[in-house]
Structure 1
Amino acid sequence: MERGWESAAVRRHRAGAGRGDGAAAAPAPAGRAGWAPPQARARRGGAAGAGRGLAEARAVLALALYLLLLRALVQLSLRRLVLRGAGGGAADFDARGARDYLEHITSIGPRTTGSSENEILTVNYLLEQIKLIEVQSNRLHKISVDVQRPTGSFSIDFLGGFTSYYDNITNVVVKLEPRGGAQHAVLANCHFDSVANSPGASDDAVSCSVMLEVFRVLSTSSQALQHAVVFLFNGAEENVLQASHGFITQHPWASSVRAFINLEAAGVGGKELVFQTGPENPWLVQAYVSAAKHPFASVVGQEVFQSGIIPSDTDFRIFRDFGNIPGIDLAFIENGYIYHTKYDTADRILTDSIQRAGDNILAVLKYLATSDMLASSSEYRHGNMVFFDVLGLFVIAYPSRVGSIINYMVLMAVVLYLGKKLMQPKHKTVNYMKDFLCGLGITLISWFTTLVTVLIIAVFISLIGQSLSWYNHFYVSVCLYGTAAVAKIIFVHTLAKRFYYVISFIYLVRSTKKTILTLTLVCTVTFLLVCSGTFFPYSSSPANPKPKRVFLQHVTRTFHDLEGNIVKRDSGIWINGFDYTGMSHITPHIPEINDTIRAHCEESAPLCGFPWYLPVHFLIRKNWYLPAPEVSPRNPAHFRLVSKEQTPWDSIRLTFEAAGPSHMSFYIRTHKGSTLSQWSLGNGTPVTSKGGDYFVFYSHGLQASAWQFWIEVQVLEEQPEGVVTVAIAAHYLSGEDKKSSTLDALKEKFPDWTFPSAWVCTYSLFVF
């Protein structure tokens, strides 16, 4: 009887399904009230799954909204704290006073090392303000001021490796200590010089302004210090960290420094990020965690920065490597588009940015200057730290060895879990391993195909000349590359779900087809708009500029042979575009700058025979050389061979003398059969730059004497073309010699969405 009923029910259901008439399901048999036909159960399960999916979607959305609301409340509370701090008493950091310092420093203009703006005007202003603060200081404290003019040399592996030499540059150093003196000190460092043609408000005048205000607050405080605080206002950081080297290796106060805080910038304003700490002094991170009022830190920044991916460095490296001192590196990171440009002005730095930075620096310096751990900091060197802030509320920090333990524990848990699965009966183990390998393979395939898809789109856009379309329109990168990546991942998982669904991938929609179609449509429309040139990469908007950076050097080059005769002489404007688009967007405005004037490498000359300011030739592949009249600086560079002698150890010592502007670059290439064995620079061991040539960066302050140095060449095999080729470039980055009428006329042709940084230079090559 039951079997016949089932058959009839099944037949009726099939007939109804075949007709598609939505016939009602047959009633359940007695005693089986919960029973339903398979299709009904499937529909019920699907509805339940959809319900769970919607519930999960609502949960995720609610969590996202909660986090956004929490973040907004945090930002609001911090802003109120900042505004409350401004205008406080003499014992509080006052952002208005720091802003006043900032506006005075930036009003001086660009401050390149060796210029009167940097060496005289800025130094005098700093000394005046320090004197005024000293007059107001509490008699509990003792203040000492020193103007240091160091000369020295060092080698560094930054930018592929080169050697630096400095002469008579400037440091303004202030020491605040207890009236009875102190054996130990914490160092706070900023630099007041700037790159050429930039007012340098964020990099790094604002940091020096913050330090002046922190110095005022600490000096007027009635709280006694346990240790000294040394404030270093250094005047040659943009010259590849020279002034900090001069301080930490030569100044008598450097020997008492046990820790440091370095204030830098990689953007304009915003929050200051702790992006480097240590080495191997976890107590410093804990000091920041305990003291900072508005913490903002990430170990990811440290990992990225120290990996060498970013072609930049800070004084942190000098204090760490040459002083063996642990420290904290902070930098403003917002709006990197206008970093090192003419737009880096004081008005773009918000007062609340200054206030939060001042609150943090003041609190951390107070903490360190009264800490018992500072005096014996060397005893606390036991590993690096993992650190990150949580929504700006607090910082989580723990030793990296703890992180390693956590990683090993997770790995062991995974191994034990897999082992347990493999210990099951054979048929279950086979199925599990099959499922596991298929799931892993599907995941890897989705990642790989996604990467390939994004690369294909990027390469195609570059080939048609529309690269960097996202530079001024961030949403373009999301709508183009983001949608393509997500669509491809979902597509691969959808195929896997259809044919072999074993991976735990949760879709918050009933059908992935609509999601994939929507993402593909957005990607396609954006792709077509990008290909049509709708999104221009750069902007001259006063509120939010995103300029294209270009270097213009009006240079006269002179090449000499072994006998000293001039074999080649030319002049031109050497053009370097600092991004992937080259000159493609500029050529319509300046037709003479096109691929017909692409610079060609002089194969026999070091670094291709061009006046590189720094050894960044391996970073810049595209440059142009536009013929132009000769330049005649009023202060021409002089270079001569002082002596040539044979040493007892069968090498040739060549002694040179150079005199010229505040910035010069010296290049060396040894010939076949010769090697550079030693020189009078750095630690005596020559350091090659990337590519095998030698690069020496030279700068001086005011009233520097002629630069004398020697090199020794070991000759293994005599060559008729000589043993070594040397060249020297003189860079005129300030004063009247910096300009030329031809250079000024060309600069005027550049569109307003560019930032052409321009100067005059000369280049002379010799063979010995």
Structure 2
Amino acid sequence: MADVYNEEKGIRLRVHNGEYEDTTDVRSPEERRHIKKHANIHLPTYVALLVVFCGIIFFGLAYFLQYRIPKPLLIKDIETYPNQFIAERALNHLRQLVSFGSKPVGSYENEVLAVEFITREVRFIMQRANPAQKISFDIQKCTGSYTLKFKPHGLTNYYSQVQNIVVKLGSNSSSSLLINCHFDSVPTSPGGSDDGLNCAVMLEVLEILSRSDKPLKHNVIFLFNGAEESPLQASHGFITQHKWAHEIKAFINLEACGAGGREILFQAGPNHPWLVQSYSDSVPHPHGSVVGEELFQSGIIPSDTDFRIFRDFGKIPGLDFAHSTNGYVYHTSYDGLHAIPIGTIQHTGDNLLALTKHLASSEILSNTKDYAEGKCIYFDIMGIYFVRYSELAGTILNLILVLISAYTSVKNLLIVKKGIANAELWKLFILACGVPVLGWIIAFLSVLITAVLLDAFNSSMSWFTRPSLILFLYYCPVLVSCMILPILFNRHHIKKNPIKTGLQGQLFMNGVQLLWTGLLLGGSIFSIRSTFAIMLVVLFPSLSSLFISMSRWRENTKVWLGAYISSTIPFTFFAQYLTITAMSLFVPMTGRIGASKNPDIIIGLFAALLCILSSSYITQVIVLIRSPWKIVGPLCGLYVVTVLAVILTPLGFPYSANPSAPTPQRIHVYHTERIFHDILGHVRHQDSGYWLMNLDRHSPDSVISLIPEIADGQSVKNMCEKELACGLPHFTARSLQISENTHWIPAPAPPVVHQPTNLDASKSSLNPAYERIHCSLQTISPDRMTVLLSPVAKLTDWSFGKEAEESGYEWQNRPTYYINYVQGLTGSPFEFWINLEVTEKSQNSILEIAVIGHYINNQGEISEHFRQFLRKYPDWAHVTAWPATYKSWSL
């Protein structure tokens, strides 16, 4: 035994059993007994390994529950289950729809084959229907226009002769429930999940309801719409023009951004919480979360559904569902039958049938306006139970929990306070909150450094095919960051001012609880409904601490720690369930966010957040482990080895052509002819080439070694200043934001097409005093066309009805107008007019116009040179390609 004098504190410390004791301690015998009672807790290393093992078990169980789907019913089961959804019968419908191949608007497959098939099946159902059921049928051909305010660039959407198949299962009610799917698909995709599966499910639900001898209380309208991918056009034609639209009081929209798995409820309302309650009360397989709703409506997810149309133009509340698993096949040729387990069809059908019966029998549907009571919070627990409560109830619950958490934290501090000076206690408390939050900051910095490092070595997206790599690349550094500071503080603090490790662990966990409590309070103040996840993080430890504080074990540190750690299990399990759901959605999505964004930053930050959410308490237990470096060391080793492996070996290659589980790179190539006219109408420049639209971080570098022509590709950045929309054949307004990072490869001109794109324009001055000019324009083009207008003058009005809406895209510091034109059945040329107001007379151009034609349904007009170029792409690349034209005029 030896004494050591501490000059800083003016006390003498005695080394006893490897620890420092204060020989000048003036604490009372009772306080000494309290400190002695809370002896140092040293857990062996295998306890940490046991925690890891339990985590793996929980993760496996969460994974099982996430992908669990019901056993399908077959045709042979019809007699046993006459009123149940029969998945095999729906599968036969889907098989037929998929057999037509891709079905873009305007194609023979979409406008003729798909319409004939659905019409035939509906007529068969009508023939076999129970006499008690009244079924009406209509094929709608609609033309119209409206504005879509997409982020960041919107558009004016004009459609001509697109088709809807509408079936009404009627009653004597004046109120109807709408169920919507779309049978069209994007080019190159057969649309198995998006959205053939849901159309097949709707046919089967119609079949079952039509056989019933008891009509439902309200009408059910089944809308099979033929123009959703164009985008969202046929639903607008229905809700604004169809004779049955006025009677619809609520809707169910069925969509997909993946294939297989369970459909998820990801949008509800707006307002009308009774819809979520109906879902909760009726469906046998609940799956949904308000987190998806807030993410989707924030614009983070680059997609939209017909939900927007029914909500904004029909002013109707509804529910939005989508299959989100296996987003790798979304909008690709892989979206066929093999990607859809028959159990997925059963899951969707069981839920839709039950929900339809419930809503169509509800008294609320007669007068839904009386039940618009605000928003609600909802989420499922492992697909077994569905939780929903009002936003107000959620706010009250959160605030009550904030108070309970604050109370239990104070009680714990009072327990720790015995035998410790007030100043030292406050110091310990501040450190107990500061050390975890600093660990979180370091954790986020560590994933950013990793993301930048991998990107610098051209190894981003290494987890794209193997999502398990995320655990080693991002979870490992996050866990180390959260554990290393408590370890260092623990070693330093024992030397400076002794406190037992049990009490220190208790303080750290209390600090974490208070951090989450602060975030919960902030989320409640700003009405973020997704903070229910934080509420669960605070709920169980607070209740556990409250219970212990009122029991006789309140001063037993071992009991407190045991109960507290056990209380973290429920939300840790739930957080793993959320993690699987989130990663299955966002990992495939990184394959289509553009080349300018580093996907590792997105996935890394997301992984860090989810890891901290599920492990923030348990990482503080590291101060109780006897040999903590035996845990931290292997985690660091796993991280370093994985980083080196993805950089130096083929392990990090992101794509796969595995036919059973493809993870392709998405590539768009448009064989384009470009003609630029001057103000006199003369051709000032003409060329042709391949426009490579880069959809992910590795485009086009991933194929340069296989396709030498790509190495000669030119950046289009310089074109963007000189030419409207960079002089490129944009297919969607969303591509405007990534166009500067795309490439142009000079190539021979495409063959002469059957319907060459052209513009016939005339101008007339309406008021010479201030040059109010009327322009009439007529375009000749294929069934898909884009018109971009960039006026120097002010565009006052046009033929599209309401006030002209700017797209949000600016060129040469002036606004542009993006018009998307789609034609279903063959019709007349596209004609429109605009009025311009010029304040000063000028001999220069007052308007720049670009007309873009896409020959999607003219695959026979692809040149041999283009075919040879496309054949050079590897099998792990999914290439979307067709001829296009870009022509511009100055008026």
1:503 aligns with 2:508: yes
The aligned residue for residue 614 of structure 1 is 732
1:233-273 CA distances to partner (integer Å, 9 max, x unpaired)?
00000001000000001101010000000010010111110
**CA distance in 2: counterparts of 1:652 and 1:321, whole angstroms:** 33
> Where in structure 2 are the equivalents of 1:704-715 lying within 5 Å?
704-715=827-838
The aligned residue for residue 226 of structure 2 is 235
C-alpha RMSD over aligned residues: 3.0
The aligned residue for residue 409 of structure 1 is 400
SS of the equivalent of 1:171 reads: strand
* Contact 1:198–1:340 (8 Å) recurs in 2: yes
SS of the equivalent of 2:238 reads: helix
1:556 aligns with 2:673: yes
The aligned residue for residue 780 of structure 2 is 659
**CA distance in 1: counterparts of 2:268 and 2:173, whole angstroms:** 25
Give, in angstroms, the shift of residue 716 of structure 1.
3.3
* Contact 1:234–1:244 (8 Å) recurs in 2: yes
1:677 aligns with 2:811: no
SS of the equivalent of 2:721 reads: coil
**CA distance in 2: counterparts of 1:85 and 1:445, whole angstroms:** 62
* Contact 1:86–1:93 (8 Å) recurs in 2: no
SS of the equivalent of 1:516 reads: helix
1:396-451 CA distances to partner (integer Å, 9 max, x unpaired)?
000111111122223445666789999999x9664444333333332232122221
* Contact 2:160–2:823 (8 Å) recurs in 1: yes
* Contact 2:311–2:318 (8 Å) recurs in 1: yes
Give, in angstroms, the shift of residue 476 of structure 1.
1.8
> Aligned match of 1:639 in 759, 765, 779?
759
The aligned residue for residue 523 of structure 2 is none
Specify the code of the residue in structure 1 equivalent to 2:508. I
**CA distance in 2: counterparts of 1:755 and 1:73, whole angstroms:** 31
* Contact 2:435–2:485 (8 Å) recurs in 1: yes
> Aligned match of 2:874 in 738, 751, 754?
751
* Contact 1:726–1:767 (8 Å) recurs in 2: yes
Specify the code of the residue in structure 1 equivalent to 2:683. I
In structure 2, relative to structure 1, the CA distance for the partners of 1:346 and 1:644 (3 Å cut) is farther
The aligned residue for residue 310 of structure 2 is 319
SS of the equivalent of 2:353 reads: helix
1:579 aligns with 2:710: no
In structure 2, relative to structure 1, the CA distance for the partners of 1:428 and 1:700 (3 Å cut) is farther
TM-score by length of 2: 0.77
> Where in structure 2 are the equivalents of 1:75-154 lying within 5 Å?
79-80=70-71, 87=78, 88-154=80-146
Specify the code of the residue in structure 2 equivalent to 1:676. L
> Aligned match of 2:385 in 394, 406, 409?
394
In structure 2, relative to structure 1, the CA distance for the partners of 1:394 and 1:759 (3 Å cut) is same
Give, in angstroms, the shift of residue 745 of structure 1.
1.2
**CA distance in 1: counterparts of 2:158 and 2:118, whole angstroms:** 25
Give, in angstroms, the shift of residue 496 of structure 1.
2.4
In structure 2, relative to structure 1, the CA distance for the partners of 1:183 and 1:513 (3 Å cut) is same
> Where in structure 2 are the equivalents of 1:244-259 lying within 5 Å?
244-259=235-250
**CA distance in 2: counterparts of 1:475 and 1:125, whole angstroms:** 42
SS of the equivalent of 1:170 reads: strand
The aligned residue for residue 643 of structure 2 is 527
Give, in angstroms, the shift of residue 678 of structure 1.
2.4
Give, in angstroms, the shift of residue 611 of structure 1.
1.0
Give, in angstroms, the shift of residue 356 of structure 1.
1.1
1:269 aligns with 2:267: no
> Where in structure 2 are the equivalents of 1:164-563 lying within 5 Å?
164-178=157-171, 181-413=172-404, 430-500=423-493, 503-504=508-509, 505-507=620-622, 509-534=625-650, 535-563=652-680
1:93-123 CA distances to partner (integer Å, 9 max, x unpaired)?
1111100000101101110101111001110
Specify the code of the residue in structure 1 equivalent to 2:453. F
Give, in angstroms, the shift of residue 458 of structure 1.
1.1
> Aligned match of 1:630 in 749, 752, 760?
749
**CA distance in 2: counterparts of 1:464 and 1:190, whole angstroms:** 44
The aligned residue for residue 603 of structure 1 is 721
In structure 2, relative to structure 1, the CA distance for the partners of 1:556 and 1:84 (3 Å cut) is closer
In structure 2, relative to structure 1, the CA distance for the partners of 1:17 and 1:264 (3 Å cut) is closer
**CA distance in 2: counterparts of 1:561 and 1:646, whole angstroms:** 24
Give, in angstroms, the shift of residue 634 of structure 1.
1.4
1:274-318 CA distances to partner (integer Å, 9 max, x unpaired)?
111111011100111111011111111111111100110000010
* Contact 1:155–1:687 (8 Å) recurs in 2: no
* Contact 1:677–1:686 (8 Å) recurs in 2: no
**CA distance in 2: counterparts of 1:480 and 1:689, whole angstroms:** 38
**CA distance in 1: counterparts of 2:73 and 2:43, whole angstroms:** 47
SS of the equivalent of 1:519 reads: helix
**CA distance in 1: counterparts of 2:51 and 2:448, whole angstroms:** 34
Give, in angstroms, the shift of residue 59 of structure 1.
7.9
The aligned residue for residue 668 of structure 1 is 789
Gaps of 5+ in 2: 1-13, 19-28, 494-503, 510-619
* Contact 2:713–2:745 (8 Å) recurs in 1: no
Give, in angstroms, the shift of residue 66 of structure 1.
7.0
In structure 2, relative to structure 1, the CA distance for the partners of 1:144 and 1:460 (3 Å cut) is same
**CA distance in 1: counterparts of 2:179 and 2:363, whole angstroms:** 18
SS of the equivalent of 1:474 reads: coil
Give, in angstroms, the shift of residue 125 of structure 1.
0.6
SS of the equivalent of 1:644 reads: strand
Identical-pair percentage: 35
**CA distance in 1: counterparts of 2:51 and 2:329, whole angstroms:** 40
Give, in angstroms, the shift of residue 355 of structure 1.
0.8
**CA distance in 2: counterparts of 1:561 and 1:533, whole angstroms:** 53
Specify the code of the residue in structure 2 equivalent to 1:496. F
Give, in angstroms, the shift of residue 158 of structure 1.
1.3
1:586-634 CA distances to partner (integer Å, 9 max, x unpaired)?
1011011026422232313222121111112214552111111112211
In structure 2, relative to structure 1, the CA distance for the partners of 1:695 and 1:375 (3 Å cut) is same
In structure 2, relative to structure 1, the CA distance for the partners of 1:56 and 1:568 (3 Å cut) is closer
The aligned residue for residue 698 of structure 1 is 821
**CA distance in 1: counterparts of 2:333 and 2:282, whole angstroms:** 35
The aligned residue for residue 10 of structure 1 is none
**CA distance in 1: counterparts of 2:51 and 2:660, whole angstroms:** 38
* Contact 2:106–2:823 (8 Å) recurs in 1: yes
* Contact 2:859–2:882 (8 Å) recurs in 1: no
SS of the equivalent of 1:401 reads: helix
SS of the equivalent of 1:666 reads: strand
Question: Is the deviation greater in 454-463 or in 757-766?
Answer: 454-463
In structure 2, relative to structure 1, the CA distance for the partners of 1:16 and 1:73 (3 Å cut) is closer
Matched pairs, number: 728
Gaps of 5+ in 1: 1-13, 19-31
1:302-341 CA distances to partner (integer Å, 9 max, x unpaired)?
1111110011000001000110101111111110011100
The aligned residue for residue 590 of structure 1 is 707
1:319-371 CA distances to partner (integer Å, 9 max, x unpaired)?
00110101111111110011100100012211111011001001100111111
* Contact 2:177–2:219 (8 Å) recurs in 1: yes
Question: Is the deviation greater in 451-460 or in 169-178?
Answer: 451-460
